[in-house]
Structure 1
């Protein structure tokens, strides 16, 4: 779902919750508005459920009863209940009709109020009875009002529950997007400074992972490996073995691990980044090596998504160190320059 649709859905969810909690809209208008909210989320189950509430259930009724889909919608709306025989039945009265019943009952109740009366008799022996008035009519109207209003409340309650849950999901998703956006802003900038050509590789990986072609997901994993290797080549170029660990061109994980250990003072952070490096590197190498050997390396879209996110966060951690630490090649060049200036040979020359 695009950011524009997500933002619109988030704003609409707040409007809907306010509309429901403050009784600002008639029930049928709330349902129509909630259906629009579901469309913004591409929530097809909710769209189908709400369509029955908008169009009504009676048109779907058959001699054998209500088919499976409208029955499921009625249950979701809280329309089902046990009858006197203990069977589960569904009230299929449309929302518009329920609202009309409530309003009509209220008007009729107001008109059936008994007028003030004064009763007296000139015969002291006569027992004067109070007229029955409209008590029975009011009892019947109250029963109808209570039943219709109760059903409406259950339906609106189901709507409120749905919108509330989706609003929380959108809020959480927004927080996660904001956190990733902040990480991405820093990473894109730092990566562009360190390895300018890597931005194109990263963009290609992001584009490939959205494809529906499975072979593109494997390509996205390969781009992730190439990207991490490019960072390693810049920060810790290949050379002789270091501390018994291979330090060749293909040993990019070893080289990055060594660089992190040399430049991160926190033992905890060193352990975390090193662990992430080794885990992600092994997985990327496994898929790449299998492909190079002609084996069938299965990379699902979920795998590719995790590679992209894992690579992005891993590189971000490394780049946060690199912005305050010089690359190994620069350090070596600087050290060599100082040695030449300080050496007797240089002074003699």
Structure 2
């Protein structure tokens, strides 16, 4: 079982425990901490540890990171920055203690005796009033504490729900990407087998997790698109005129224009073509900028997130090309003759 599959199972069990059982809050917290560990969620681990042990005198809500929202929504932290110190297990124990005390006060009955004089009568009435006030206050404390306890407990439910939905969403995205991967693999195998080696090289560069490796990965993405363009629309000396009568060079370095020329041959809809033009323009601009820096010997500062998104964008664009490769030519655009 993979880590995410185990996390999904734990999230399901946790939600079931919170919704249908009367499991002790310690057990709920332990299972929630296990879920956070499986998700490698350090913010949640910090938050849950405080919920288990209690909050210190000196505490900054920003320490909770992404889990601050759960503490705020539950009322653990008030809008003016104050917060409750008591841990969730103590809240639960206090609630049980308050409930037992209320039951004791409710079951106790004053002995009905006739007062001997006025002073004794006044003292008895004062005692009864004091007991009644104590019972009313105890009930109020119990209700307030139980409401806060339920709210804090619901924060655990919200966290488990968010994690479960994120895993499910990840499965959907993975399934969609897997379908695109199948199309790309088939396309590469049939049309440009050289691109397969470049895809492997890109993946290896990303896994090295070094700044220069990330720049190399994006440069490889550019080479990959050139390889695909060479296969689908080889370099030509004569320019290409698109359906809008715009002339585009389609030489060896103009891989972007050659890809657009191929796409236009497959698409009859102007709106669809405009979308793909925008997509390839954005992708090529990013890849070309890194390529120019590398060629000049200038350090290309590419973050891990930027590199990953660029690679994903490249792969998805190949998926679009793979889909179009199955269509017959639409006859869009023309090659100029001289």
Q: Is the 8 A contact 1:49 1:70 kept in 2?
A: no
Correspondence for 2:236:
239
Question: Between Structure 1 and Structure 2, whose CA radius of gyration is higher?
Answer: 1
Q: Is the 8 A contact 1:238 1:249 kept in 2?
A: yes
How do 1:330-341 residues align onto structure 2 when only pairs under 5 Å count? none
Q: Is the 8 A contact 2:212 2:300 kept in 1?
A: no
**Among candidates 302, 306, 319, match of residue 299 of structure 1:** 302
- Is there any run of 5+ residues in structure 1 with no aligned partner, and where? 61-65, 122-128, 327-349
**Among candidates 74, 90, 95, match of residue 97 of structure 1:** 90
Correspondence for 1:154:
151
Q: Please list the CA deviations of residues 158-196 of structure 1 after superposition, one character each: whole Å capped at 9, or x if unmatched.
A: 223333333443333333222222211221222222212
Structure with higher RCO (Cα < 8 A, 6+ apart)? 2
**Among candidates 36, 39, 51, match of residue 38 of structure 1:** 36
TM-score (norm 1): 0.74
Partners of 1:153 and 1:72 in 2: CA distance: 23
**Among candidates 43, 54, 58, match of residue 67 of structure 1:** 58
**Among candidates 177, 181, 193, match of residue 178 of structure 2:** 181
Correspondence for 2:14:
16
Q: Is the 8 A contact 1:10 1:167 kept in 2?
A: yes
Q: Please list the CA deviations of residues 104-123 of structure 1 after superposition, one character each: whole Å capped at 9, or x if unmatched.
A: 34345445545899x9x9xx
Q: Which moved more, 1:91-100 or 1:195-204?
A: 91-100
Deviation, structure 1 residue 69: 4.7
Partners of 1:213 and 1:256 in 2: CA distance: 30
**Among candidates 316, 319, 337, match of residue 319 of structure 2:** 316
Correspondence for 1:250:
253
TM-score (norm 2): 0.76
**C-alpha spacing 1:297/1:67, structure 2 compared with 1 (3 Å):** same
**Among candidates 289, 293, 309, match of residue 290 of structure 1:** 293
Quote the RMSD (CA, aligned, Å): 3.6
User: How many residues of Structure 1 are paired with residues of Structure 2 in the alignment?
Assistant: 307
**C-alpha spacing 1:262/1:300, structure 2 compared with 1 (3 Å):** same
Correspondence for 2:282:
279
**C-alpha spacing 1:100/1:268, structure 2 compared with 1 (3 Å):** same
